[in-house]
């Protein structure tokens, strides 16, 4: 599990280069090049157009530096006026930029595409974290991320008060229905993973109380309790706790904010929500040149 707020700088630089490649190709911003003198300097502001939680502010400087390098110009200076993980209101200035107008305008859309997306994920996650406040449950993300954006989106989840479950297929084993079917059963699948990767953490999906108890007996210490009603989930939590084993329990499958607290109050440790990354609306943010 990951909860730290370290910004994934190298991943962000890769995303920035890909985004600029999409925007500029092998050419230039023809509109800006034609209308803005190369030596023109302006002050501009990154401004929140809606309330939410900001995430990804270091991207501003990364994009400006990358554009300046492509244009052979000096990068505008950046003064951050907010911080990742902070709640903002409509009209709040998040950063002030001073420098080349050309660089600023070429960078504008890439800055906003990334910052609006990551801040949207953080804002959505904060709603879940607030809904679970006072319970033992934390909200987890999943691998249902935008291709190429995983590190940034999972960073945004952390900024919003959520927890990263796993980064990919490589760091945690997750035994689900298809694995059980292909391996000849839950216990067989668990034994196969433990034999092949003796030090890796293993999580096991269970859809019934009996299956959850089988997983615990096989050695599993993290269970995904999938698509259970609150009543069945509470019964399963009680049955697993009664074994005396220290097992982390996650509710998953079809969860919504409207039922989040009801599920949290069953005694699970986590609620897993793919929608944090696959369905978060953006947070409206703009870049405005000062008049």
Query: Catalytic residues, which ones?
Result: 109, 144, 176, 205, 226
Query: What b-and-e string marks burial along 95-109, b requiring 16 or more CB atoms within 10 Å of the CB?
Result: bbbebbbbbbbbbbb
How far is 243 from 65, CA to CA, in rounded Å?
56
Q: Can you give 44-95 as a three-state secondary structure string?
A: EEEEECCCEECCCCHHHHHHHHHHHHHHCCCCCEEEECCCCCCEECCCCEEE
How far is 159 from 256, CA to CA, in rounded Å?
20
- CA distances to 59, 101, 120, 287 from 97, in Å: 13, 10, 22, 9
Give me the phi and psi of 242, to 5 degrees please: -70, -15
Q: Are strands 172-175 and 93-100 parallel, antiparallel or unpaired?
A: unpaired
Give me the phi and psi of 16, to 5 degrees please: -60, -45
CA-nearest of 136, 123, 128, 120 to 256 is: 128
How far is 246 from 264, CA to CA, in rounded Å?
18
How far is 122 from 236, CA to CA, in rounded Å?
31
- CA distances to 23, 94, 109, 189 from 222, in Å: 44, 40, 42, 15
The residue to which tokens 């986590």 are assigned = 270
């Amino acid at each position: 599990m990951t909860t730290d707020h370290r910004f994934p700088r190298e991943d962000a630089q890769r995303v920035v280069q890909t985004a600029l490649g999409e925007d500029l190709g092998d050419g230039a911003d023809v509109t800006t090049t034609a209308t803005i003198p190369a030596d023109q300097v302006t002050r501009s502001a990154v401004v929140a157009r809606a309330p939410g939680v900001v995430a990804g502010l270091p991207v501003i400087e990364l994009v400006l530096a990358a554009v300046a390098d492509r244009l052979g110009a000096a990068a505008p200076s950046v003064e951050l006026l907010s911080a990742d993980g902070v709640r903002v209101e409509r009209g709040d200035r998040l950063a002030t930029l001073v420098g080349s107008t050309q660089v600023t305008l070429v960078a504008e859309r890439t800055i906003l595409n990334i910052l609006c997306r990551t801040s949207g994920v953080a804002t959505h996650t904060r709603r879940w974290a607030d809904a679970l406040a006072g319970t033992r449950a934390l909200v987890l993300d999943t691998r249902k991320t935008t291709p190429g954006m995983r590190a940034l989106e999972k960073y945004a989840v952390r900024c919003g008060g959520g927890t990263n479950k796993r980064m990919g297929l490589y760091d945690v084993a997750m035994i689900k229905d298809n694995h059980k079917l292909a391996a000849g059963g839950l216990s067989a699948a668990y034994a196969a993973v433990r034999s092949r990767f003796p030090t890796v953490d293993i999580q096991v999906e269970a859809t019934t109380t009996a299956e959850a108890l089988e997983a615990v007996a096989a050695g599993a210490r993290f269970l995904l309790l999938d698509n259970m009603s609150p009543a069945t989930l509470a019964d399963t939590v009680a049955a697993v706790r009664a074994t005396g084993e220290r097992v982390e329990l996650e509710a998953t499958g079809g969860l919504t904010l409207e039922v989040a607290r009801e599920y949290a109050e069953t005694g699970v440790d986590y609620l897993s929500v793919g929608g944090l990354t696959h369905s978060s609306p953006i947070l409206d943010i703009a870049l405005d040149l000062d008049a």
